[in-house]
Chain A
Amino acid sequence: MATNLQAPPVAPLAEKLKPMKLKSDKHPDWCPGCGDFGITNAIQQAISNLQLPPWNVHFFTGVGCSGKTSHYVQCYGVHTLHGRSLAFSQGAKVANPKLNVIVAGGDGDGYGIGAGHFVHAGRRNVDMTYVVFDNEVYGLTKGQASPTLPEGDKPKSLAAPHVVQPINPFALALACGYTFIARSYAYDAKHLRATLAAAMEHKGMALVDVLQPCPTYNDLRTKSFFDEEVTVKGSPVPRVYYMEDEGYDGVVKDSTDATEVNDKRMAAFNKIYQQEERTGLGVYYKIDIPTYEDRVKRNLPILNEYSPIDLPYHDADMNPTTDLTAGKGSMVI
């Protein structure tokens, strides 16, 4: 099991905030056997384990099967537009950094229609967790190829083998500046829960790409596919393994040490592009650097005093209180 993922802290409200409490009254309408159930459970457990007050959790989702996830969690849930969850969530977090912001969506939503936001969210490093349900297909519209489907693959939903190369979300995330990049698997509840909790605890933009079998349209990456053993150096091993167990450590210990940062980044790239039959789970890369919310204070020092949402602009009688004298400056004649 992953070793560099911190165990969730024991919180005083554990009794009152069991994961069950985080289930909304709305019942998921996903297909039986869908990986989305496992991811939703893990999100609820991670919130519960970290004791994030649900009324302070702003949970954004994109559009597609996974987009409905926000409806199933008892917190402030926002089912946004296709591909735009990161734009919504960054707006919310930048406006009110006190919120716990979680984002979820499909691989088509995040790496396809929302690819532009995916790129720039990395550059900003706003403090939030982005969970991508990666099943290689657009399930809700009958299984078209998503950006992660390998070239030449033909899941049953496709009429012919796929002729476009897949995106590598981890390499892309690394190139864009994501400060926490991890992979987990929908049916490995324990690892997923711990990974999500670690991502939520990470201060910065965290990506967790979750392998999520689509039982209806993707008959290539099924639960039994991930369960089966593969042969490595002549001996059978589980297909899914934990990278940390084999000595891989993607966590930068000292972000001011340029050599370490460079070494870890190159090691991550190597790991990301390693050709193997197996599928590694765990953290590819993690670094602690200032978030957007912190960096923006350099230009707006007043944000050291106030959270943006708390900047005062009216009195108790709702009279506006901002003095425009400085803003008019030399425009006063």
Chain B
Amino acid sequence: MSGLTEINWMIGGPQGTGVDSSATLFLRTMAVAGYHVFGKREYHSNIKGKHSYFNVRASHQFVQSSRDPIDLLATFDKETATTHGHEIIPNGALIYDEKVVKPEDIEGLDASVTTFILPFDDILQEVAEETDSNPMKLVIMKNTIAVAASMALYGVELHHMEEALKGIFEGKKAKLVPLNMKAAEKAYAMIQTMDGFDKFTFKIDPVANVPEKGSRLLMNGATACGLGKIKAGCRMVTYYSITPAVDECIYLETQPHYGVNVVQCEDELAAMNMVNGAALTGMRASTATSGPGFCLMAEAIGWAGICEVPSVIFNYQRGGPSTGLPTRSEQADLMFAINVGHGEFPKIVIAPGDMEQCFEDSFECFNLAERYQTPVIVLPDKVLANNTQTIPHFNEEGLKIDRGFIFEPTVKDPYDDVEGAMATHKRFEVTEDGVSPRSLPGQPGGIHWLTGDEHTEIGHITEEPSIRMAQHEKRFRKLDKALQEIPQDRQYKLYGPEDADVTVVAWGCTKGPMLDAMPLLEKEHGIKANLLHIRLFSPFPAEGVLKILEKSKQTMSMEANFTSQLHRLIRMETGFTIGHRVVKYTGRPISQDEAIDAIRQVVEQNAEKVVLSYGH
């Protein structure tokens, strides 16, 4: 055991040529071998041809962020080599195809990097001849070749790949396993005979205690959200096709046995209003969208607010404004989500920070929506949706369904007591905590009206000032109740030592790089940092957040947006101005290395503002 405990691999190529497949294979192989993996997927808004890449970090430790320098880049196209060649660390390696790129074309390639020319076509030709296959149909196996050669360089035993392939090719496709293995074996053997093989020293040690088979998940956030919704009893999800939200819908459509009706709508106006209609009936319904679609939903969310409908909206944030960076990530919809819709109404806005929270929030959001009878907006982002990670199984212990205050009919037989069955119900009764008994269509004795106008307790239109005040106040009281009742660690949580040198305030997926960075900051740079990760934005837990910030020696915010939205929100809600801010608005996620670098700039150089920009 003298090797490394962590590696950082990248594969890239034109979209549609199997970059995803090879990364999936590598992720799965390393996961099967017992490593913790984190995969970062970057792609263009394009079907075929444009450059995409996948970054896979494998470690002995649980990791939840990407790292910047890569030790091995595998590619079979020129663009990947020229775009990412400079990212290879000294003494790293590049696997490439001589037919498409020459090392001298690669700007910034460190002289110490070993280059391996892999004859992809020759290997495929051999496999084709031996198996009597059409070589043209085997082209996709270039990915397997690249992965196998990488495994040899890293010193990972090849049999792990066979097990991974079995998990990928099931049923009718099982015959592809031996075919792929044949190509893999050739590549694995061939690269070991090449010059420079021994020079590549980034060998990773095998995992001593491989986690028990079946004990973990290899999953992305879109799927984790889908599973949370299924567990919560959400059986209707509406959407209009949009990246990256559509990934959740695609997943749900593959699970028809749960009975989730994934309704493709004509636009996001329909998607949101269908959710309103469905939620009125008592169905747990939600819509999945991203920035531009979320904009179109604003009016309908306001209706859900004034009519106290438990509608759930998932806005998978992507780079904005407008079409913006459609396949990239950003945390720039926070202020919009809090203020979405004209006028004022209570809304609950939450954002998960990792896979586990994706599941948890996707489950809990329906409880919140029904308990407080108001729309709930969940803000994951493209990073969470598309990154693939090994995680423990979700904690399903202690989960409870909370339907909130639902009207109980007293009429036993409506046909016998038609008068009672047709009685009017005070759906918007002014109550102490603001929550009123919610009757559902079909319930005898529950008839009421709903209107986007201000309304009376039974739901008829009114412009009477005193009723307006009573209803407006009642609706907002629900937010006070929510803030009192939502467990504190679902509102915000302080990670790391209380007596840190610096407190980093972040939200969403910035949690991952921060948690990975904190131990290294202390160990390698002597900086003790902690993380104040906020999950609840409306209602805002001002008191608790302020208490932590006031005790902090130094404060900084770290967000993937231009205007430091959480930083501003905290100032607005607490009056506290966070001392330093870190932003990134390239649409690429903040990496562990960037988190370390930014914190060092703040603590060591007192930088007021740090703009991060790493990544292609």
Which residues of chain B are near A330, meaning CB under 8 Å? 167-168, 170
Cβ B445 vs Cβ A55 within 8 A: yes
Interface residues in B250-292 by Cβ distance below 8 A to A read 255-261, 263, 265-267, 269-270, 272-285
Interface string of B412-455 (1 = CB under 8 A from A): 00110011011010000000000000000111111111111100
Cβ B258 vs Cβ A56 within 8 A: no
Residue of B215, B227, B259, B285 touching A91 (CB-CB under 8 A): B285
A233 within 8 A of B: no
Interface string of B390-408 (1 = CB under 8 A from A): 1001101001111100000
Given A91-B238, A91-B278, A313-B401, residue A99 in contact with residue B256 (CB < 8 A) = no
Cβ B441 vs Cβ A58 within 8 A: yes
Cβ A94 vs Cβ B422 within 8 A: no
Residue of A16, A296, A303 touching B418 (CB-CB under 8 A): A16
Cβ A94 vs Cβ B233 within 8 A: no
- Chain B residue nearest to A120 in the complex (CB): B266
User: In the docked arrangement, what's the CA distance between A180 and B557, Å?
Assistant: 59
Interface residues in B451-477 by Cβ distance below 8 A to A read 451-453, 459-461
User: In the docked arrangement, what's the CA distance between A58 and B444, Å?
Assistant: 13
Residue of B214, B285, B399, B415 touching A13 (CB-CB under 8 A): B415
B182 within 8 A of A: no
Which residues of chain B are near A318, meaning CB under 8 Å? 400-403
Cβ A80 vs Cβ B442 within 8 A: no
Interface-lining segment among B58-66, B196-204, B217-225, B596-604: B217-225
Cβ B274 vs Cβ A87 within 8 A: yes
B51 within 8 A of A: no
A222 within 8 A of B: no
Which residues of chain B are near A54, meaning CB under 8 Å? 421-422, 447
Cβ B441 vs Cβ A76 within 8 A: yes
A279 within 8 A of B: no
A275 within 8 A of B: no
Cβ B235 vs Cβ A99 within 8 A: no
Interface string of A36-78 (1 = CB under 8 A from B): 0000000000000000011111101001000010110011111
Which residues of chain A are near B418, meaning CB under 8 Å? 13, 16-17, 21
- Chain B residue nearest to A67 in the complex (CB): B451
How far does the Cβ of A181 sit from chain B's closest Cβ, in whole Å? 20
- Chain A residue nearest to B444 in the complex (CB): A55
B232 within 8 A of A: yes
Residue of A21, A79, A92 touching B281 (CB-CB under 8 A): A92
Cβ A326 vs Cβ B255 within 8 A: yes
Cβ A55 vs Cβ B421 within 8 A: yes
How far does the Cβ of B364 sit from chain A's closest Cβ, in whole Å? 11
Cβ A91 vs Cβ B276 within 8 A: yes
How far does the Cβ of A289 sit from chain B's closest Cβ, in whole Å? 19
Which residues of chain A are near B424, meaning CB under 8 Å? 24-25, 74
Cβ A71 vs Cβ B235 within 8 A: no
A300 within 8 A of B: yes
How far does the Cβ of A57 sit from chain B's closest Cβ, in whole Å? 8
Cβ B278 vs Cβ A92 within 8 A: yes
A8 within 8 A of B: no
B299 within 8 A of A: yes
Given A92-B281, A95-B277, residue A78 in contact with residue B259 (CB < 8 A) = no
Residue of B272, B281, B421 touching A58 (CB-CB under 8 A): B281
- Chain A residue nearest to B420 in the complex (CB): A55
B236 within 8 A of A: yes
Choose among A81, A99, A120, A319 the residue with the greatest number of B CB atoms under 10 Å from its CB.
A81
Cβ B282 vs Cβ A79 within 8 A: no
Cβ B442 vs Cβ A98 within 8 A: yes
Which residues of chain A are near B453, meaning CB under 8 Å? 79
User: In the docked arrangement, what's the CA distance between A91 and B421, Å?
Assistant: 24
Q: Name B residues whose Cβ lies closer than 8 Å to a Cβ of A.
A: 28, 31-32, 167-168, 170, 211, 213-219, 223, 226-227, 230-233, 235-236, 238, 255-261, 263, 265-267, 269-270, 272-285, 299-300, 303, 363, 390, 393-394, 396, 399-403, 414-415, 418-419, 421-422, 424, 441-453, 459-461
Which residues of chain A are near B255, meaning CB under 8 Å? 326-327
Cβ A90 vs Cβ B274 within 8 A: yes
Cβ A320 vs Cβ B233 within 8 A: yes
B contacts with A: majority SS:
mixed
Cβ A306 vs Cβ B259 within 8 A: yes
User: In the docked arrangement, what's the CA distance between A65 and B506, Å?
Assistant: 49
Cβ A92 vs Cβ B280 within 8 A: yes
Cβ B450 vs Cβ A96 within 8 A: no
Residue of A83, A91, A311 touching B275 (CB-CB under 8 A): A91
How far does the Cβ of A138 sit from chain B's closest Cβ, in whole Å? 17
- Chain B residue nearest to A97 in the complex (CB): B281
How far does the Cβ of B523 sit from chain A's closest Cβ, in whole Å? 29
How far does the Cβ of A89 sit from chain B's closest Cβ, in whole Å? 6
Residue of A78, A117, A333 touching B32 (CB-CB under 8 A): A333
Cβ A87 vs Cβ B277 within 8 A: yes
Which residues of chain B are near A313, meaning CB under 8 Å? 232-233, 235, 284, 401
Residue of B32, B270, B441, B459 touching A87 (CB-CB under 8 A): B270
User: In the docked arrangement, what's the CA distance between A230 and B381, Å?
Assistant: 65
Cβ A90 vs Cβ B277 within 8 A: yes
Interface string of A293-319 (1 = CB under 8 A from B): 000100111110010110101100011
Which residues of chain B are near A120, meaning CB under 8 Å? 265-266, 270
How far does the Cβ of A205 sit from chain B's closest Cβ, in whole Å? 14
User: What are 13 contact pairs spanning A and B, CB under 8 A?
Assistant: A24-B449, A54-B422, A56-B441, A57-B441, A58-B280, A70-B449, A84-B273, A92-B281, A308-B283, A318-B403, A320-B231, A320-B232, A331-B223
Cβ B267 vs Cβ A311 within 8 A: no
Cβ B401 vs Cβ A74 within 8 A: no
Which residues of chain B are near A301, meaning CB under 8 Å? 256
Which residues of chain A are near B283, meaning CB under 8 Å? 95-96, 308-309
Give 12 new A-B contacts, CB below 8 A, not counting A80-B303, A318-B400: A55-B422, A71-B461, A84-B273, A88-B273, A88-B277, A91-B279, A93-B277, A99-B441, A120-B265, A300-B261, A308-B235, A331-B217
